[in-house]
Amino acid sequence: MIEYLLSAMIFGLLLHGLHRKVIARVQGRPGPPIWQEILHTMKFLFKETWILKTASQGLYVGVVALAIAIWSAALIILMTGGSLLLLFALYLIHKIVEHGTGLSSGSPYSKFGAIRSVISAASELPLLASVALIYLFTESLMISDIAAYQAVYGPLLIPALPAAIALYMVILSKIHYGPFSIIEAKELVSGYWTEHFGVWRGLFNAAFGMKTFVLLYTFVLVFIGPVGLPLSLLLIILLMISLSFVCAVTPMLSPYDSVSIQTITTGLIAIYIIFLGVFA
Amino acid sequence: MKRLHIQLTAVLSGIILILSSALAYLGAITYAISALAAIIIFPAFIISIGLLLSASLKDGDIPFMGY
């Protein structure tokens, strides 16, 4: 099991590196090498580390452990074809990680990041809409059942396109440098994780690498189907590049606009779900 | 936390993780137990490895608290 977790972590960090590279190239810069995020994480791990005197010590360290644990659990659920609802639940626990990270240190920058994390709870709404729409097609939320459905009827990407768009937006809202990344905006230094440095920052990086891998792999499994590991990895990379393009050409939205767009998207998908559920 | 405690945590959690993986492959324990062990122990393993790598562990200081 540990081999899968470490592999997902390293591949996720490489995806983050690719993300930075593509954004840089689109913006006419050379950008860092793709393995930069791995070096970055290693650099943090070798730094001098302590826990702030003003911090809630248990929470300050606990959120790091929680972040690693929930994305490890999410990866295992994906690998075993478990329930999409469980993944949804873990995604919501990630919200607690964001709140806890921001509130644990006592710094106003990270507190503002945590407050923005609360208002950006709207980013969970498209996920809920996406899960509901998938259930309408497959009548099951087990990933193994969804895969079986796709083996018979083909990829869900086309018939459940609004759900795919919703999940794409969810991933976009969780990716660094994205239009919805208001919780780590530069006007708040690094936002909710400003005061997590050294080992804590390095481990957060690693956990978030795993998060990126899990979210992209979920998209591929749920909307394309089980296509084998090499093709899945290729699709994950292509998906990451497309997200990077969006991030490169889109400015970060204001908190109000970010929440508005996510809520409107969810509303449109909800109308589509009601149409499918009632009339179709 | 003393370095010795961190070293012990790293070694013990590493052994448990490798054992649980190996036993699951051999069929001695179920996949679910191996997964549960990984989810619980993996954060402790990674954090203790991280703390072992760090240059030094110091007492905390007070961050910027606002104007």
**Domain span holding position A130:** 2-278
Higher pLDDT, A19 or A160: A19
Say if the Cβ atoms of A76 and B38 lie within 8 Å: yes
pLDDT exceeds cutoff 80 at A27:
yes
- Candidates A64, A106, A107; nearest CB to B47: A64
Mean pLDDT of A21-40: 92
Q: Which of B1, B12, B39 to mutate to test the interface with A (most CBs of A within 10 A)?
A: B39
**A161-207 pLDDT, tens digit each:** 888 888 888 888 888 888 887 777 777 677 778 778 888 999 999 99
- Interchain contact A72–B (C-beta under 8 A): yes
Total number of domains in chain A: 1
Angle at A219 between CA A264 and CA A71, to 5 degrees: 100
**A90-122 pLDDT, tens digit each:** 888 888 888 888 888 878 888 888 888 887 777
Share of chain A above pLDDT 90, in %: 31
Mean pLDDT of A251-279: 79
pLDDT exceeds cutoff 80 at B60:
no
Q: The tokens of A250 are what?
A: 């889109």
So what's the pLDDT on residue A197? Answer: 81
pLDDT exceeds cutoff 90 at B15:
yes
3-state secondary structure A260-276: HHHHHHHHHHHHHHHHH
Which B positions 15-34 lie with beta carbon below 8 A of chain A? Answer: 17-18, 20-21, 24, 31, 34
Model confidence band, residue B66 (pLDDT cutoffs 50, 70, 90):
low
